[in-house]
């Protein structure tokens, strides 16, 4: 069963149909890519999935349960975590405390300190644990944001442009991290403009354009899809 299933979701901002009947499934242990030109609706779809925006129609299911009317906090308790395109860290708390705040809101508070230590090790950030994110380069800040989402061991992890600002070595390490998350059975949904990362790491890719899914399938199919090339990859 899909960990996250989105069905027939529509959102309009005034006369602008940001999402128009969008469907998407994210399976456990797989990375599902979501790509499309600027303004295609990717972040809006994450907002609908995480409960920050109520769709005018359509449904969201977590592990088969309809959560369309569940609050963001309720969805987090059911194992959904996300990152934001714009970093949403507490700039002056330490990296460790940024993770701890999230861990203590998760389902297992007693494990919070242990989970933070484990996550910092996994991300290779232990040496920066006592630094405030404000003092770190953006690429590292993004990793801290991913850590804050990972620390509750989510079933579904939505990542909004996590590799922006990372250099090629950091991106490579990040790809390995994504694979290790799927080994844990996490369903990862990745919004990302770095096409080599998307094509290298995703099992399945959805392409959004002007609020509609114009193609979905494995990376090798998407890479050669004429509609996708015309809408997006051609000028990427
Ligand atoms: N709060 C809002 N109010 C009005 N319009 C919005 C709002 N949020 C998004 N939009 C519009 O909805 C459409 C989809 O935007 P969205 O940010 O979801 O796209 P995106 O694919 O994430 O783009 P990007 O790659 O630039 O982040 C765009 O036309 C955008 O201008």
Domain spans of the chain, in order of start: 1-79+155-236, 88-153
One digit per residue, pLDDT tens: the chain, 236 residues?
A: 889 999 999 999 999 999 999 999 999 999 999 999 999 999 999 999 999 999 999 999 999 999 999 999 899 889 999 998 877 888 889 999 999 999 987 777 889 999 999 999 999 999 999 999 988 988 888 899 999 999 999 999 999 999 888 888 888 989 999 999 999 899 999 999 899 999 999 999 999 999 999 999 999 999 989 888 887 755 54
Cβ(16) – ligand 1 distance below 6 Å: yes
220 is written with which tokens? 């090798």
Give the CATH number of domain 1-79+155-236.
3.40.50.300
Cβ(42) – ligand 1 distance below 6 Å: yes
**How crowded is the C-beta side of 212, counted as CA atoms within 13 Å?**
5
pTM for the model stands at 0.92
Ligand 1 atom nearest 41 alpha carbon: 18
Cβ(207) – ligand 1 distance below 6 Å: no
**Secondary structure of residue 187 in the 3-state scheme:** strand
**Secondary structure of residue 16 in the 3-state scheme:** strand
């Amino acid at each position: 069963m899909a960990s996250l299933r989105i069905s027939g979701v529509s959102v309009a901002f005034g006369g602008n149909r940001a999402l128009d009947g969008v469907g998407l499934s994210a399976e456990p242990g797989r990375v599902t890519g979501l790509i499309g030109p600027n303004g295609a609706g990717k972040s809006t779809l994450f907002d609908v999935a995480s409960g920050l925006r109520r769709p005018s129609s359509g449904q969201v299911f977590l592990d088969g349960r309809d959560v369309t009317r569940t609050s963001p906090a309720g969805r987090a308790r059911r194992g959904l975590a996300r990152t934001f395109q714009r970093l949403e860290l507490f700039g002056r708390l330490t990296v460790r405390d940024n993770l701890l705040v999230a861990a203590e809101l998760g389902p297992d508070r007693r494990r919070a300190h242990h989970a933070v230590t484990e996550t910092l090790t996994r991300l290779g950030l232990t040496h920066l644990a006592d630094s405030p994110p404000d003092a770190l380069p953006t690429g590292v800040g993004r990793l801290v944001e991913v850590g804050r989402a990972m620390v509750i061991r989510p079933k579904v992890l939505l990542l909004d442009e996590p590799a922006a600002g990372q250099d090629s070595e950091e991106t490579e390490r990040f790809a390995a991290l994504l694979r290790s998350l799927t080994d844990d059975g996490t369903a990862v949904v990745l919004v990302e403009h770095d096409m080599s990362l998307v094509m290298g790491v995703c099992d399945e890719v959805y392409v959004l354009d002007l609020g509609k899914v114009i193609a979905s399938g494995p990376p090798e199919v998407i890479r050669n899809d004429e509609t996708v090339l015309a809408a997006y990859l051609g000028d990427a």
